[in-house]
Amino acid sequence: MKADIIVCGGGLGGFAATLAAARNGYKVILTEETDWIGGQLTQQGVPPDEHPWIETHGAPASYRKFRNGVRDYYKKYYPLTEEAKSNAYLNPGNGAVSRLCHEPRVALEVMHEMLKHFIENNQVVLLLNHKAMDAQASPCEVKEITIKNLRTNSFFKATADFFVDATELGDLLPLTKTSYVVGAVSKKETGELHAAEISNPSNQQSFTCCFAIDHEEGKNNVIEKPSEYDFWKNHVPTLQPSWPGKLLSLTYSNPATLQPRTLDFNPDGSSVKDVLNLWNYRRIIHHKNFLSGVYKSDITLINWPMNDYMLGNLVDVSESEFHQHVGRAKQLSLSLLYWLQTEAKRPDGGMGWPGLRLRKDIMGTSDGLAKFPYIRESRRMKTIFTVKEEHVGKEQFDKTYGRNGMKQFPFEDSVGVGYYHIDLHPSSSGDNYIDFDSIPFQIPLGALIPIEKENLLPACKNIGTTHITNGCFRLHPVEWSIGEAVGSLLSYCLSLKTTPRKVAVNKETLRSFQKFIQAQGLEITWPTSNA
């Protein structure tokens, strides 16, 4: 097979890159190893983590179109109350984590609709259940990749002018012998205030196997006791600073202070003042948004500190180790559910909610768990510029540049914007949360240009960040912005018969490219109110 661009990975970055290239008239082959595109939003079961200004600015126009599409889908196809239907900012789940908590399948439908025209005219070839397994590459160029059909176990080769690694773990980087970094990098190397004292590639953020549940009062939906339940029930994470007790508990380390913090859980949605009810946190269906009787219960997604898997990594391990860790992470998630059903203390003094029901239909899987683990950290490409804490972390930025009156780092080569506090979950090598304030930031083109390859670009969590700055670049709208910038860049390069590197280093060409993407709805600066 041959195309102008091959995008490996159908998550948010890969989807946005594909959309941008197709919009500009180029043919794209998009591969995805699961049967759902959408990455974090769909196959991983994580409602969007976004910044406070998302309804009006701070993301590409196409991302806001997607968000509006989700709301329109509910208003068109779901029996909403009149109040919900008339709400311009409808939040189907009224979840606390986002202004738009919704079902994975709705996101999937909207994303397919956005690609529909391009797929039907064969401009986009979408290959679900396909994965890149090998590649031929010189030190400066990718020649071709070998793709496996995971359903038939057959293989074929594919060539293109440009290749995009939008896989969740940066899988194309080792296949193409492209230089990359993994895990924690030392303070000596980066100069970052919150960096580790010693570099450790195996020190990576935990991942999570998410799932969805509802609650049927008076019914017994208790699952079979997970085979590893006794282990997880008694497991105390070994972290520094220490975790406040057993993992299967409603008490965890407050990410900002690392002091013990106890949360609430109650499927009736009620909340104690100043205590978060985890049921409401990632709730994707709030039954009160729908006509009476449509939903007897809310539906919520479980992506909590209590099912973060910290005992091993998925990057640069053997296939058997990969499956072993994913299997154990699934056991942890099922153990959390079983604990909630049988042993968690209820507000009325009882034990467990046996009516909690695993919603396999929400995840589209036979085991009820997400199709793919929720990945927070992947391989990071070595690029001509690396975003460090001094560029996005509030404390270090203020110390470094604040005395000059600056409020954000002005990247002259900005190709997008983003914001999220720097949020690293407990790691596989014993770090507790690393969580601190960041500032609204720009996405520099230099962090997308590899130091070696001329025709391979990253499009998600694998750009040129550090272990620390990955913590604010890994969220939904930022990943979409990165992907759309990459798809637009490759379209621009194809039209001018040039390379991404030449665009990045030539000021006149760079300015022309920035005007090109702004005309297509990409934002490259924050308003002065955010600066």
* Position 531 pLDDT exceeds 70: no
Beta bridge partners of 277: 264
Where does 35-106 show beta strands of DSSP type E? none
174-207 burial code (b ≥16 CB/10 A, e <16):
ebbebebbbbbbebeebebebbbeebbbebbbbb
pLDDT, residue 271, reads: 86
**pLDDT of 344-358, one tens digit each?**
999 889 999 999 999
Cis peptide before 92 (omega within 30 of 0): no
Residues 6+ apart with CB under 8 A from 406: 397
Calpha distance 63→405 (Å, rounded): 32
Domain ranges of the chain: 2-185+376-519, 207-363
Q: What is the chain's mean pLDDT, rounded? A: 97
Reading the block at residue 180, the tokens are 């990359």
Distance, CA of 468 to chain centre: 16
Contact status, residue 226 vs residue 415, Cβ threshold 8 Å: no
Residue closest to 433 by CA, chosen among 205, 184, 209, 247? 205
Q: Which of these ranges, 10-19, 244-253, 268-277, 329-338, has the smallest mean pLDDT? A: 268-277
For the segment 427-441, what is each residue's pLDDT rounded down to a tens digit?
A: 999 999 999 999 999
- % of the chain exceeding 70 in pLDDT: 100
Q: How many angstroms separate the CA atoms of 344 and 322, rounded?
A: 31
CA 353, chain centre distance (Å): 30
Burial of 406 (0-12, 13-18, 19+ CB in 10 A): middle
On the question of pLDDT at 530 being above 90, the answer is no
pLDDT of residue 528: 84
For 289-309, the pLDDT digits (tens) are: 999 999 999 999 999 999 999
β-bridge partners, 427: 205
Angle at the Cα of 41 from the Cα atoms of 38 and 47, rounded to 5 degrees: 170
Closest by alpha carbon to 513, among 491, 529, 530? 491
β-strands 124-128, 28-32 pairing: parallel
Mean of pLDDT values over 481-493:
98
Q: Of all residues in the chain, what percent carry a pLDDT higher than 90?
A: 97
Q: Taking 90 as the threshold, does the pLDDT of residue 370 lie above it? A: yes
What would the 3-class secondary structure string for 108-126 be?
Answer: HHHHHHHHHHHHHCCCEEE
What mean pLDDT comes out for the span 487-507?
98
- What are 60's two structure tokens? 């590409």
Q: What is the CATH number of domain 2-185+376-519?
A: 3.50.50.60
Residue 272 above 90 pLDDT?
Answer: no
pLDDT of residue 289: 98
Which amino acid is it at 212? A
Contact between 305 and 342 (Cβ < 8 Å): no
pLDDT in tens, 381-420: 999 999 999 999 999 999 999 877 788 899 999 999 999 9
From 53-62, 359-368, 405-414, 417-426, the region with the lowest mean pLDDT: 405-414
Per-residue pLDDT tens over the stretch 163-208: 999 999 999 999 999 999 999 999 999 999 999 999 999 999 999 9
3-state secondary structure 472-529: HHCCHHHHHHHHHHHHHHHHHHHHHCCCHHHHHHCHHHHHHHHHHHHHCCCCCCCCCC
Average pLDDT over every residue of 229-242: 97
Give the whole-angstrom CA distance, residue 437 versus residue 421: 5
